[in-house]
Amino acid sequence: GILGMDPTQAQHIWGFLDELAEKDPEGYKKFMQDKMKEAKGMASEQMQKAFPEPCFVVSTTAGSRKIYLNFMKWERCPPLQRKDGSQASDKDPISNVLVPISVGEHMKGKEKDGTAYDYVDITFNPQVIKRANSSLEWKLYLVELAIQNAEEDLKITLSRRYSMEPNITYKGDRGRHAPGRG
């Protein structure tokens, strides 16, 4: 059947739409426009959940080259866990938790003036980013964790002298990773 409906339901809906189109063409047009807007909104919401959301950026260097670490949140990343394997709460101290982290590809970009830079997406569960945004201790811990994991995964050495980039939430080409998102 249509959209998983049984044939009787589908026939009823088609009958309703045919009758509406015949008796009230403007009402039919408005009904269809409303349904299309609703469907687009749902699709847009699903697209947003399909990709990590940029949160904040830290810049550092790898040798003489500038590198940006894009801190992202994504529902698909596992939540915080206690060291015993159970799910952590927002009250658990750093010393008692494991923080799942995903390090993206080492990418290259260029400033408008042509200056080259590198960037890497570092993705966490939204719960982790929420804690980092409400606690400097957590944010500093996440930055160190991101640097360590990026070094290990990408086989690079990053400087521990870093800066928070206050006016940007993402540095690099988002189009390569998230179609339809700016």
Tell me what pLDDT residue 1 has.
Answer: 44
pLDDT tens sequence for the chain (182 residues)? 455 667 777 777 777 777 877 888 887 788 778 777 776 666 555 555 678 999 999 999 999 999 999 999 999 999 999 999 898 988 899 999 999 999 999 999 999 999 999 999 999 999 999 999 999 999 999 999 999 999 999 999 999 999 999 999 999 987 544 433 33
C-alpha to C-alpha distances, 145 to 23, 37, 176, nearest whole angstrom? 65, 42, 25
Tell me what pLDDT residue 30 has.
Answer: 83
Q: What is the DSSP string of 61-124?
A: EETTEEEEEEEEE-TTSPPPEETTSSBP-TTS-GGGEE---EE---EEEE-TTS-EEEEEEEEE
CB-side neighbour CA atoms (13 Å) of 120:
27
What token pair was written down for 15? 């009958």
Give the list of residues 6+ apart from residue 139 with CB closer than 8 angstroms, or none: 132, 133
Tell me what pLDDT residue 150 has.
Answer: 96
Residue type, 80: L
Tell me what pLDDT residue 5 has.
Answer: 61
- The reported pTM is 0.70
Query: Among 182, 178, 164, 138, which Cα is nearest to 47's?
Result: 178
Query: Among 141, 89, 149, which Cα is nearest to 121's?
Result: 149
Angle at 27 between CA 20 and CA 34, to 5 degrees: 110
